[in-house]
């Protein structure tokens, strides 16, 4: 009853997904504040080192449903297990990764349970609320905070009367933190056949081609990010050149990705990846809130922009006013001639 | 055999052009203050429906939208591009709906349409980016869902095979009917308006629009295809408690305008000297190299 529950995704390599470990780290903190337990739900055919992986994040109960038919992920079987488990366990909070799987599953679960769900939260906090009309006081609500509406505002969403309070969070937004290396919880095996009916496997998977993550901008120490101001995919090449010689990765804003200047995996911001590199070079990036949400914790920020008033400049350590196509080659030139 | 597809479309404020009056005091969107456009991924959804109609003859495409009466514009636009008819669900009671209340309303309207084989929607709308209404509608209809559709691999009267675009790859799945599909922006762009259809449907209107234009209702008697249906909450047998703000479990507690955390920013020019000094400093402090 009243616990914090995290739906854990299983990767192609049969490990627990990074985003789920990040959510468990956040879930542990929320559970501590609420003085409740942290539960994980894991649904798969097998998972490597399941208990060894999860307990150090402070997981009290692992609800493990293991069945040959449960990997790869399919909506209806996972939906059937998660909803039934939530009805039994009655958690007050349920968190999902804002991934291909989480964004497919969580809304269907919320719809069935007739509860609220907030997508792509950037902050989760516990707080209280007084209803204006009735003066009814609510304690210990989950504040689901996200940029909204073109990034001009930050909205705090609450779900006062329905449970669980549900939210999805993108990979990289929450920090992955070991809670206690020697923490021990308990494993609860869930028998698939009492949760899922044969007819729930109604979709036929014909083929799958899932690749291991190729571009890893989340882990990069240096990021050269291009925005819509780069104008074209061709102009992006100069950013790849700079990134290569300074051993960084190339990121992109949503506007640049939408305009097909870069791949979606490179997208930084609320609907992309959150990064915390030691150096962030923003090239032709205006700096919408959704983008800043994904990079403002970078240690050093350099903005190269033709517009002195670009919002990104106000969070930059250095602002270079001018044309990226002129400035970046100069940086490459200097670096080449002054390092080994 | 006849085949029926319901396409879900939304008229959205163009969030790329947001002005000051974009939000109302209660934290909901002030749609009147913004240019309204056809949600981009819903156009991809319409195209997918049209491709099916190209393959399965006798397919009827009904476009369903929910919103203020002016949302009839997206139905008209769909008619120009190849849809057969359309419905606007419009009622004060549905104002302020979150995704749960929206999906309930949409599902009630689809149930009223009845006899559908496929429901096709864009993955998400650009004003919220939640991607929730598709899966939630599928749940309310108790039908399977195929999200992030990029391409139809195969389709016939019995089954459909869809290529899905996932974060790290693709997956091809097959479903029987009925089924709900949400379409990813990487799917084929929607075909253009058809000149003949433009002529045929430019006078298609909803009853509210006729009233606003002071036109005569008898128009629909002569040319029934020009009628854009308009349904209220009572037309779709909706329970009031599940509509609009009342039916929305999520509430907006607070809206904050974004205040930038100002940093002491060093301004540099694009001169060789400035760039060289910056690079020198970065290398010296071991941030680079």
Enter the ipTM: 0.90
* Integer Rg of chain A from CA: 22
How near does any CA of chain B get to the CA of A145, in Å?
9
Largest CA distance in chain B: 81
Closest CB from A117, A209, A318 relative to B268: A318
At B249-289, the pLDDT tens digits run 999 999 887 665 566 788 889 899 999 999 998 988 888 87
- Are B152 and B45 within 8 A, CB to CB? no
Taking only residues 183 to 202 of chain A, the set having a beta carbon closer than 8 angstroms to any beta carbon of chain B reads 202
State which residues form the domain around B116: 3-242
**What is the residue-level pLDDT of chain A in tens, covering all 340 positions?**
999 999 999 999 999 999 999 999 999 999 999 999 999 999 999 999 999 999 999 999 999 999 999 999 999 999 999 999 999 999 999 999 999 999 999 999 999 999 999 999 999 999 999 998 899 999 999 999 998 776 667 899 999 999 999 999 998 889 899 999 999 999 999 999 999 999 999 999 999 998 776 677 888 899 999 999 999 999 999 999 999 999 999 999 999 998 999 988 899 988 788 898 999 999 999 988 889 988 988 999 999 999 988 889 989 999 999 999 999 999 999 998 888 6
* Residue A285 forms contact with B (CB below 8 Å): no
Q: And the tokens for B117?
A: 């084989």
Instruction: Tell me the C-alpha distance between A105 and B117, whole Å.
Output: 22
The DSSP letter of residue B192 is P
Angle of CA points A268, A110, A95, to nearest 5°:
50
Interchain pair B283, A338: CB under 8 A: yes
What's the mean per-residue pLDDT of chain B? 91
d(CA B250, CA A143): 11
Instruction: List Cα–Cα distances, A65 to A3, A27, A102, in angstroms.
Output: 19, 20, 17
Q: Using an 8 Å Cβ cutoff, are B206 and B229 in contact?
A: yes
CATH number corresponding to A222-338: 3.40.50.1220
| Cβ–Cβ < 8 Å for A82, A109 | yes
Has residue B262 been placed in a domain? no
What residues have CB less than 8 Å from A216, skipping those under 6 apart?
A249
Q: Helices (DSSP H) in B82-232: which residue ranges?
A: 99-113, 133-140, 195-201, 207-212, 218-222
DSSP string, A175-187: PP--S-TT---EE
**Terminus-to-terminus CA distance in chain A, angstroms?**
61
Here the tokens at position A130 are: 């007084």
Disruptive mutation site among A100, A107, A148 for chain B (greatest number of B CBs within 10 Å): A107
Nearest to B267 among A208, A319, A338 (CB): A319
Residues 6+ apart with CB under 8 A from A135: none
Asked if A206 and B172 come within 8 Å (Cβ–Cβ), the reply is yes
CB contact under 8 A, A203 and B250: no
Distance separating alpha carbons of residues B276 and A302, to the nearest angstrom: 14
| Angle A38-A162-A140 from CA coordinates, rounded to 5° | 55
Of B172, B250, B275, the CB nearest to A159: B250
Q: What is the pLDDT of residue B87?
A: 98
Say if CB B105 and CB B246 are below 8 A apart: no
Interface test with B, best of A76, A103, A132, A289 (most B CBs within 10 A): A103
Q: What is the dihedral of CA A315, A317, A320, A321, to 10 degrees?
A: 30
Span B233-238, mean pLDDT? 97
Considering CB atoms only, which of B29, B173, B269 is closest to A322? B269
Q: Which of B187, B180, B204, B162 is nearest to B106 (CA)?
A: B180
Give the residue among A108, A114, A332 at the shortest CA–CA distance from A242: A332
Residue B281: inside a domain: no
Q: Is the CB of residue B99 less than 8 Å from the CB of residue B132?
A: yes
**CB-based burial of residue B99 (10 Å sphere; 0-12 exposed, 13-18 middle, 19+ buried)?**
buried
Are B249 and A161 in contact (CB < 8 Å)? yes
Task: Give A92's contacts (C-beta < 8 A, 6+ positions apart).
Answer: A2, A3, A4, A34, A36, A142, A163, A164, A165
Per-residue b or e along B26-41, where b marks 16 or more CB atoms closer than 10 Å to that residue's CB: ebebebeebebbbbbb
**Record: contact A151-B258, CB cut-off 8 A:** yes
Q: Which residue has the tokens 């399919």?
A: A74
**Reported pTM:** 0.86
> Whose CA is closest to A78, among A9, A13, A23, A11?
A9
Cβ-nearest to B166 among A100, A108, A160: A100
pLDDT of amino acid A219: 81
- Pull the structure tokens for residue B246: 């009342």
3-class state of residue B83 by DSSP = coil
pLDDT value of residue A29: 98
pLDDT of B217 over the 90 cut:
no
* Cβ-contact B251, A159 below 8 angstroms: yes
Strand-strand pairing, A300-305 and A318-321: parallel
Location of each CATH 3.40.50.1220 domain in chain A: 222-338
Q: Give the model confidence (pLDDT) of B66-92 as tens digits.
A: 999 999 999 999 999 999 999 999 999
d(CA A278, CA A45): 39
Q: Which of B18, B171, B252 sits opposite A157 (nearest CB)?
A: B252
For residues A4 and A142, is the Cβ–Cβ distance under 8 A? no
DSSP state of A23: H
Q: How far is B1 from chain A (nearest CA, A)?
A: 24
Can you tell me the distance from the alpha carbon of A162 to that of A147, in angstroms, rounded to the nearest whole number? 23
Residue B272 forms part of a structural domain: no
- Which 30-49 residues of chain A touch chain B by CB within 8 A? none
Q: What is the pLDDT of residue B122?
A: 98
Residue B270: inside a domain: no
Q: Where does CATH 3.40.50.620 sit in chain A?
A: 4-200
* pLDDT for B28: 60
Q: Do A330 and B248 touch (CB under 8 A)?
A: no
Residue B175, token pair as written in the block: 């479903």
| A120/B contact by beta carbon, under 8 A | yes
Strands A93-97 and A4-8: parallel
Which residues neighbour B75 within 8 Å (Cβ) at sequence distance 6 or greater? B9, B63, B65, B83, B86, B87, B88, B204, B206, B228
Q: Tell me which residue of A72, A79, A88, A85 sits closest to A108, measured CA to CA.
A: A79
Q: How far apart are CA A32 and CA B100, in angstroms?
A: 30
B257 contacts in chain A (CB < 8 Å)? 152-153
User: Residue A168: in which H helix or E strand, if any?
Assistant: strand A165-169
Question: What is the side-by-side strand order in the sheet with A137-148?
Answer: A123-130, A137-148, A153-158, B251-257
Measured between beta carbons, the chain A residues lying within 8 angstroms of B168 are 210-213
Element (H, E) at A255: helix A254-258
Average pLDDT over residues B192-202: 96
What pLDDT, on the 0 to 100 scale, is given for residue B262? 63
CA separation for the pair B4, A340 (Å, rounded)? 67
Q: Is A52 exposed, middle or buried (0-12, 13-18, 19+ CB in 10 A)?
A: exposed
Nearest CA in chain B to A130: B253
Residue B275 lies in a domain: no
Question: What topology is assigned to A4-200 in CATH?
Answer: Rossmann fold (3.40.50)
Partners of residue A110 in chain B, C-beta under 8 Å = 100, 132, 136
- % helix, strand, coil for chain A, step of 5: 30, 30, 40
d(CA A277, CA B219) in angstroms, rounded, equals: 64
Closest CA to B62 of B236, B205, B183, B228: B228
User: Nearest CB to A317: which of B260, B261, B266?
Assistant: B266
Segment among A144-153, B191-200, B221-230 with least mean pLDDT:
A144-153
CATH code for position B173? 3.40.50.620
Residue among B253, B257, B277 with most chain A CBs within 10 A, to mutate: B253
B284 found inside a domain: no
**Domains in chain B, number:** 1
Nearest one of A43, A68, A13 to A188, comparing CA atoms: A43
Nearest-CA distance B196 → chain A (Å): 31
């Amino acid at each position: 009853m009243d616990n914090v529950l995290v739906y854990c995704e299983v990767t192609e390599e049969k490990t627990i997904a990074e985003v789920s470990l990040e959510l468990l780290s956040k879930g542990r903190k929320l559970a501590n504040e609420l003085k409740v337990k942290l539960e994980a739900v894991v649904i798969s055919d097998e998972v490597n080192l399941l208990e060894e992986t999860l307990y150090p994040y402070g997981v009290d109960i692992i609800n493990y449903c293991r069945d040959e038919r449960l990997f790869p992920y399919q909506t209806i079987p996972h939906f059937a297990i998660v909803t039934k488990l939530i009805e039994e366990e009655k958690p007050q909070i349920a968190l999902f990764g804002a991934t291909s799987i989480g964004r497919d599953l969580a809304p269907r679960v919320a719809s069935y349970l007739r509860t609220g769900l907030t997508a792509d939260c950037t902050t989760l906090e516990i707080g209280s609320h007084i209803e204006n009309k009735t003066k009814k006081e609510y304690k210990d609500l989950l504040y689901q905070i996200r940029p909204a509406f073109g990034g001009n505002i930050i909205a705090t969403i609450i779900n006062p009367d329905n449970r669980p309070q549900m939210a999805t969070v993108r990979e990289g937004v929450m920090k992955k933190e070991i809670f206690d290396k020697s923490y021990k919880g308990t494993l609860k095996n869930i028998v698939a056949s009492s949760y899922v009916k044969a007819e729930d496997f109604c979709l036929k998977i014909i083929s799958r081609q899932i690749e291991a993550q190729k571009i890893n901008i989340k882990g990069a120490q240096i990021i050269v990010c291009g925005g819509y101001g780069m104008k074209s995919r061709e102009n992006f090449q100069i950013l790849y050149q700079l990134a290569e010689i300074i051993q960084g990765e190339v990121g992109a804003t949503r506007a640049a990705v939408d305009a097909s200047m870069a791949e979606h995996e490179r997208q930084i911001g609320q609907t992309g990846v959150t990064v915390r590199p030691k150096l962030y070079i923003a090239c032709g990036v205006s700096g919408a809130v959704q983008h800043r949400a994904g990079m403002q914790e970078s240690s050093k920020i350099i903005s190269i922009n033709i517009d002195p008033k670009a919002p990104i400049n106000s969070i930059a350590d250095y602002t270079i006013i001018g044309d990226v196509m002129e400035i970046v080659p100069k940086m490459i030139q200097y670096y080449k001639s002054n390092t080994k | 055999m006849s085949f029926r597809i319901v396409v879900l479309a939304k008229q959205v404020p163009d969030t790329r052009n947001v002005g000051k009056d974009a939000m109302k005091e209660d934290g909901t969107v002030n749609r009147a203050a913004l240019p309204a456009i056809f949600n981009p991924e819903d156009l991809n959804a319409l195209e997918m429906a049209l491709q099916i109609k190209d393959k399965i003859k006798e397919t009827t495409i009904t476009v369903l939208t929910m919103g203020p009466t002016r949302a009839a514009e997206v139905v008209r636009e769909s008619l120009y591009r190849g849809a057969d008819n359309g419905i606007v669900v419009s009622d004060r009671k549905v104002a302020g709906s979150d995704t749960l209340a929206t999906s309930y309303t949409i599902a009630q309207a689809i149930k009223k349409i009845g006899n559908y084989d496929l429901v096709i929607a864009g993955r998400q709308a650009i004003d919220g980016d939640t991607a929730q209404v598709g899966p939630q509608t599928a749940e309310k209809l108790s039908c399977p869902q195929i999200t992030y559709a990029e391409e139809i691999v195969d389709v016939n009267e019995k089954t459909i095979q869809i290529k899905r675009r996932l974060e790290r790859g693709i997956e091809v799945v097959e479903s029987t009917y009925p089924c709900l599909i949400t379409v990813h922006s990487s799917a084929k762009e929607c075909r253009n308006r058809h000149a003949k259809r433009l002529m045929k449907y430019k006078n298609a209107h909803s009853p509210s629009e006729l009233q606003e234009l002071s036109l005569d209702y008898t128009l629909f008697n002569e040319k029934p295809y020009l009628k854009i249906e308009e349904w209220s909450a009572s037309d779709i047998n909706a329970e009031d408690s599940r509509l609009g703000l009342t039916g929305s479990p999520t509430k907006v507690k607070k809206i904050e305008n974004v205040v930038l955390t100002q940093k002491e920013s060093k301004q540099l020019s694009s001169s060789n000297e400035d760039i060289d000094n910056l690079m020198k400093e970065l290398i010296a402090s071991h941030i680079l190299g």
